[in-house]
Amino acid sequence: MPLLPDLTEEKQLWSQGYHLIAGIDEAGRGALAGPVVACALVLPLNFNPPWFSLVRDSKQLSPARREFLFNAIRDETTAIGIGITPTQDIDSLGILKATYLAMETAIHQLPFSPHFLLIDGTSLSNTTIPQRKIIRGDKVCFSIACASIIAKVTRDRIMVELHEIYPNYGLAHHKGYGTEEHLSRLRYFGPSPIHRFSFTPVKDASRIGATQR
């Protein structure tokens, strides 16, 4: 049976007096174009919404289900912070540091300092807030799964907007990830300003040069 996110981690921390717990996840780390988007999300104590059983890692949900949960989560959680690291910073910092920066920005965008951080698959060095790295956190930890949905939908909407500016690449469909369609268009048109030139497929397309511009 697939893993389902629950409140095991949050309940343990709530019982220890950590009432403001931020679940943190990112979207877009593996894409070839567009930003990395992170979300830090704080749930109310003993949170039990009617849509609880619908929450999954965002990658396991249909676009329609993600949109529904995005609105439900946004309306009922205590606080949400969003961090966005643009393409130019990804190229200058490297994707790992750029991801950390997006997560740190998301934490700072919260209206208060959380008592504890639950982070999907990594840890942050530039914070004094107590934290816990949770492997596959978006699949097993409810607040991280909710953060993954907010980050994913936020980034998808950005990519749809970028598609209007750079329509040659099909960004609205693949959201900047390295699909066959995207790679084919990248080779044909060459990289755009929102492509990650530090990523090998974009480097290769840049070297080959565009057949048509």
Compute the mean pLDDT over every residue in the chain, rounded to the nearest whole number: 94
Going by C-alpha positions, the residue among 8, 187, 18 that lies closest to residue 195 is 187
Q: Are 150 and 70 in contact (CB under 8 A)?
A: yes
Does the domain formed by 8-166 have CATH 3.30.420.10?
A: yes
Strand partners, 25: 39
Where on the phi/psi map is residue 124: left (φ > 0), alpha (ψ -120 to 50), or beta?
beta
CA distance 160 to 155: 9
Return the pLDDT at 209: 58
Q: What is the pLDDT of residue 46?
A: 87
> Quick one: pLDDT at residue 1?
56
Q: Which of 24, 36, 39, 25 lies closest to 198, judged by CA?
A: 36
Ranges of residues in the chain whose predicted pLDDT is under 50: 210-213
pLDDT number for residue 101: 98
Q: How many CB atoms lie within 10 A of CB 89?
A: 16
For residue 119, the SS3 value is strand
Domain ranges for the chain = 8-166
